């Protein structure tokens, strides 16, 4: 097997390192850099599974390591981001006294971290999820969450700002996000076994609509695409059961 058996795990470590750096930026409320390093982590997360399958070096250690890396990049980081968003929405400064934090509503944001941990634990022991998922994958949920500060910074639509600056809306998003991570809903994965259109129509449709929405709506397209992803999965249900050693979130 040689060196090639270490390639997927090296990529997974890249995901973990990216998540650690993103977490530091999230703590300091530097959301542009959070988005960059989360995107890099998700890139590594996609290709570690790809190369594990390509090189036929899947392992139980790799599966567990992948989830541990995802717990940082797609679990802790979005929880901190939502915490920061709720702090901003409730005008709670970082230098507030500890007494002010005892019942601070911003802690609700960490529901996302808890729900992500539970999802990743379930994912590792569930042999139903390979080319399709049950519940929203943690990377998709993270993209949704990290898009919110980018929308607030760069999108001019007043209705979007009104929603994402409202603490009650953010709490509702947090609860919905936590539920969707563990919902018994089958969602398709962007994995192509063949390029046949009939067998992959939902994937081609999603990619086409993604391109159109991103061109016209930019960052605002990201949460809409996650919603679209769920809706398409419900309209075109897809289920499979394949050896879970090939799984990757």
Q: Which two structure tokens, joined as six digits, stand for 69?
A: 């890396």
pTM: 0.88
- Looking at CATH, the fold of the domain delimited by 2-246 is given as 1.20.120
Cα atoms found within 13 Å of the Cα of residue 184, Cβ hemisphere only: 0
Measured distance CA(136)–CA(241) in Å, rounded: 17
Q: Which two structure tokens, joined as six digits, stand for 139?
A: 């990377």
pLDDT for the residue numbered 2: 67
* Average pLDDT for runs of 10 along the chain of length 249: 79 97 96 98 90 78 90 98 93 55 80 97 78 89 98 93 94 98 91 75 93 95 96 81 48
Measured distance CA(184)–CA(166) in Å, rounded: 29
Measured distance CA(34)–CA(210) in Å, rounded: 22
pLDDT for the residue numbered 245: 42
**Angle, helix 7-27 to helix 77-89, in steps of 10 degrees:** 20
Report the sign of the C-alpha dihedral through residues 133, 136, 141, 142, in that order: negative
**Angle, helix 31-54 to helix 138-154, in steps of 10 degrees:** 150
Q: Which two structure tokens, joined as six digits, stand for 6?
A: 């270490």
pLDDT for the residue numbered 1: 54
């Amino acid at each position: 097997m040689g060196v090639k058996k270490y390639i997927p795990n090296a990529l997974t470590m890249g995901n973990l390192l990216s998540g650690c750096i993103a977490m530091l930026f999230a703590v300091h409320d530097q959301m542009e850099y959070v988005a960059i390093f989360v995107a890099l982590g998700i890139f590594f997360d996609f290709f570690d599974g790809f190369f594990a399958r390509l090189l036929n070096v899947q392992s139980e250690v790799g599966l567990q390591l992948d989830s541990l890396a995802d717990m940082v990049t797609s679990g802790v980081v979005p929880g901190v981001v939502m915490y920061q968003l709720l702090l901003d929405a409730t005008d709670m400064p970082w230098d507030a006294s500890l007494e002010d934090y005892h019942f601070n509503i911003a802690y609700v944001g960490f529901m996302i971290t808890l729900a992500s941990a539970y999802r990743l634990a379930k994912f590792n022991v569930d042999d139903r999820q390979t080319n399709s998922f049950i519940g929203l994958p943690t990377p998709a949920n993270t993209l949704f969450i990290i898009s919110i500060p980018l929308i607030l910074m760069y999108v001019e639509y007043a209705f979007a700002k009104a929603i994402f600056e409202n603490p009650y809306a953010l709490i509702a998003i947090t609860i919905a996000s936590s539920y969707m991570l563990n919902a018994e809903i089958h969602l398709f994965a962007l994995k192509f076994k063949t390029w046949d259109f009939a067998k992959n129509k939902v994937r081609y449709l999603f990619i086409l609509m993604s391109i159109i929405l991103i061109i016209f709506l930019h960052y605002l397209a990201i949460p809409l695409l996650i919603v679209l992803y769920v809706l398409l999965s419900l309209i075109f249900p897809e289920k499979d059961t394949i050896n879970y050693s090939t799984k990757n979130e």
